[in-house]
Copies of this chain bind each other. A is one copy, B any other.
């Protein structure tokens, strides 16, 4: 059986590029999968169930909250958003690492209930770059941009200190490689591999090698 995959939380302000970074890594590494959130908001045109979101009715969502089926959930703009435990567990039990791209508040919940989760914060390299990236998304109004900047500065960036790692997103390629390294490196920690060394020494003893 393969080793259990890791739970990776990715957060950061709008415009930091967290979705792009996660997508780039998942594209190149078959061991990495991005979690699909559940929501109680109505499906929009062009969205697919299980791809963009797991779409649930408000009643179903609340029943699942009561049944403890969510790893984290929150209410935004009157709609529920959350991460269902079951699909995440299923992927992890097959040895795949699951990335949750979620808000800073959800990240805190994950950390409390999953001490083994690794929390990664993605930030643009500078404030001017954050502004430039938001402004280049021509889909948003000036008010939207200012609201997002305000949330970044008052709510998101100050919580970076609760994360284990910070990726400074200069280029998507470099950042995806860093995220990959953050996921891979701890698998090589000595504490987790002492058993293998013990096994080799045991086998050597069985062959009476130390007596050569």
Q: Taking beta carbons and an 8 Å cutoff, which residues of A are in contact with B?
A: 120-121, 123-128, 130, 146-147, 149-150, 152-154, 157-158, 160-161, 163-168, 177-178, 180-190, 193-194, 196-197, 199-201, 203-205, 207, 209-210, 212
Contacts and interface: CB of A to CB of B under 8 A. Distances in A.
Contacts of A187: 178
A190 B178 contact: no
12 contacts: A126-B203, A149-B209, A160-B197, A161-B197, A163-B190, A165-B188, A165-B189, A166-B190, A166-B197, A168-B196, A178-B188, A181-B182
Contacts of A178: 184-185, 187-188
A157 to B, nearest CB: 6
- The main secondary structure of chain A at its interface with chain B is helix
B184 A177 contact: yes
B165 A127 contact: no
A158 to B, nearest CB: 7
Contacts of A207: 127
